[in-house]
Structure 1
Amino acid sequence: MAGINTPQNREKPFKQNWFVTATWLLVICYVLYSFNAMGLSWERFNEGLGHASNLLGRMVPPNFSRWSLLMSGLIESLEIAIISSICGIFISLFLGLFAARNMMPSWVSTPVRTLIALCRTFHPVIIAILFVKSVGFGALAGILTLVVASIGFIAKLFAEAIEEISLKQVEAIRATGAGFTSIILFSVMPQVFSRFIGFSTYQLDSNLRNSTMVGIVGAGGLGGTLFSAFQRFDYDFVAAILIVIIALIMFGEFLSNIVRRIFR
């Protein structure tokens, strides 16, 4: 009978998708080829573990005797992170607004979006190298680098947050005859302010990490001290610097949690 669900007319609940299967096979083959092309092997990994154990042995115990050099690098990293975050957040407020396609015409939003995309195109280390070549070694290169990185992150997310707002509040404020500034302050910002605070605290935390990294290429901060210690094979001092960097990141995480609770 036609209504009986026989094995002949019963369809498989999970059909074989040959395209997905072939794709997975290609991925597996490419990964295996990449391992072979780069010379990755278990012997090399095992040898690396031996070198790592020797390195860790030379890093213990940490040497905090040069604490003045350590603190000067830490203070400079903090200054770089805070100044670049404040400048980057302030600039991103305007760029994010100008990049929002529901608030600005395309001839305004498109160039601004292009600028924001350019700011996040390169890794901060590459940008730091360019600024070191332009303005010289020191904290200024690090500040400019992290300002660019902040714009690339915050302005993009801020623009996307504005594009997701409810336009009913905008129309209500506009119906009262309010100007553009009043519309932004009383209809747009209240809807995105908490998210903007979240973006900003995350970027401050990111800048605290990056401020120690860009110093490796001469852009100031604790990274320069770390790089010099590595060059001198001064591994016990390297361990002390790494502990300070971890403490700095934990402090940034603690500060971010406090800010989120206040503006939640």
Structure 2
Amino acid sequence: MTAASATAARRAFAPNWAGRAGLAALAAYAVYAAAQLDITWARLMVGFGEAGRFLARMVPPNFARWELLVEGLLESLQIAILASALGILLSLPLGLMAARNLSPWFVSAPTRAFIALCRSLHYVIVAILFVKAIGFGALAGVAALTIASMGFIAKLFAEAIEEISMKPVEAVRAAGAPGASVLLYAVLPQVALRFLGFCLYQLDSNLRNSTLVGIVGAGGIGGTLFAAFKRFDYDFVAAILIAIIAMIFLAELVSGRIRAALQ
């Protein structure tokens, strides 16, 4: 091996001192943050003991009040479906307006700003705002999850449109077709499957989120769960959690079958 090749080999496996320094700084900050937040091993051990006693009080689950359980689950399912449907319908024009390859900048820029605004706050915070504005109940949950759906689906839909091939669009425009025909025959066929995938994912997400917004008074099984926690009714809490997990698993199976059928 010549001197030049040996030097090249040494350079190829040279240590990344910048990366090591970054990892060391991250580790040092993690230790500092843990000390500032009073995260200690002693507190963790106490927490594990309390968690064991808490879980012991949840066994066996109590399904005696199954009517209340089913009512809450059905309300959460209705909230998720309504919010997903409204969010999808509103996301279609928003995504088209936000796509920079189809809309001028003075249309796409404000639309993107609005979509970013929909994503800027957590859906639980939005649910609290709607509860304060329109009162307790499922309407606040539907409104909050509709806003969250718009922020998610419209952004992904716009990005999918920006990745399409413009050749079919130019061909349809050259044939003298109006704007609606361009969207129907040149744009939507290229993004239809991806858009359906986004919609199914958002429905799954809203089904999970609908169980959480009820904790702040926006309807659904979350309100029943929060009330059971306040009453220290932990065996009923276990039953509610098992029912929520079963509902989510069932939704995953159904959405998986739908995705497989669409491919």
Q: Normalising TM by the smaller chain, what interval?
A: over 0.9
Aligned to 1:108: 107
CA deviation after TM superposition for structure 1 residue 17, in Å: 3.2
Aligned to 1:249: 248
Structure 2: which 5+ runs fail to align? Answer: none
C-alpha distance in structure 1 between counterparts of 2:237 and 2:5, whole Å: 69
Aligned to 2:2: 4
1:16-35 aligned at under 5 Å gives the runs 16-35=15-34
CA deviation after TM superposition for structure 1 residue 83, in Å: 0.4
CA deviation after TM superposition for structure 1 residue 7, in Å: 9.3
Tell me if 1:60 matches 2:59: yes
CA deviation after TM superposition for structure 1 residue 48, in Å: 1.1
Aligned to 2:88: 89
Structure with greater proportional helix content: 2
Q: Which amino acid aligns with 2:170?
A: E
Aligned to 1:78: 77
Structure 1 residues 101 and 43, CA, compared in 2 at 3 Å: closer, same or farther? same
Q: Secondary structure at the match of 1:65?
A: coil
C-alpha distance in structure 2 between counterparts of 1:55 and 1:229, whole Å: 14
Deviations 1:56-108 (A, max 9, x none): 11101111111111111111101100000000001001100110000000000
CA deviation after TM superposition for structure 1 residue 45, in Å: 1.2
C-alpha distance in structure 2 between counterparts of 1:183 and 1:256, whole Å: 30
CA deviation after TM superposition for structure 1 residue 6, in Å: 7.2
Aligned to 1:36: 35
Deviations 1:165-222 (A, max 9, x none): 0001111111111010000000100000000000000000000000000000000000
1:80-229 aligned at under 5 Å gives the runs 80-229=79-228
Structure 1 residues 8 and 171, CA, compared in 2 at 3 Å: closer, same or farther? closer
Structure 1 residues 7 and 148, CA, compared in 2 at 3 Å: closer, same or farther? closer
C-alpha distance in structure 2 between counterparts of 1:23 and 1:63, whole Å: 51
Q: Secondary structure at the match of 1:39?
A: coil
Q: Secondary structure at the match of 1:120?
A: helix
C-alpha distance in structure 2 between counterparts of 1:89 and 1:137, whole Å: 24
C-alpha distance in structure 2 between counterparts of 1:190 and 1:6, whole Å: 56
Q: Which amino acid aligns with 1:4?
A: T
Aligned length: 262
Deviations 1:95-128 (A, max 9, x none): 0011000000000000000000010111111000
C-alpha distance in structure 2 between counterparts of 1:177 and 1:6, whole Å: 65
CA deviation after TM superposition for structure 1 residue 10, in Å: 5.6
Aligned to 2:258: 259
C-alpha distance in structure 1 between counterparts of 2:243 and 2:95, whole Å: 34
Structure 1 residues 52 and 11, CA, compared in 2 at 3 Å: closer, same or farther? same
CA deviation after TM superposition for structure 1 residue 46, in Å: 1.5
Q: Secondary structure at the match of 1:183?
A: helix
Q: Secondary structure at the match of 2:3?
A: coil
TM-score by length of 1: 0.96
C-alpha distance in structure 2 between counterparts of 1:36 and 1:29, whole Å: 11
C-alpha distance in structure 2 between counterparts of 1:182 and 1:8, whole Å: 64
**Percent of aligned pairs with the same residue?**
57
CA deviation after TM superposition for structure 1 residue 21, in Å: 2.3
Q: Which amino acid aligns with 1:33?
A: Y
The CA RMSD over aligned residues, in Å, is 1.4
C-alpha distance in structure 1 between counterparts of 2:25 and 2:174, whole Å: 58
Tell me if 1:230 matches 2:229: yes
CA deviation after TM superposition for structure 1 residue 258, in Å: 1.9
Tell me which moved more, 124-133 or 37-46.
37-46
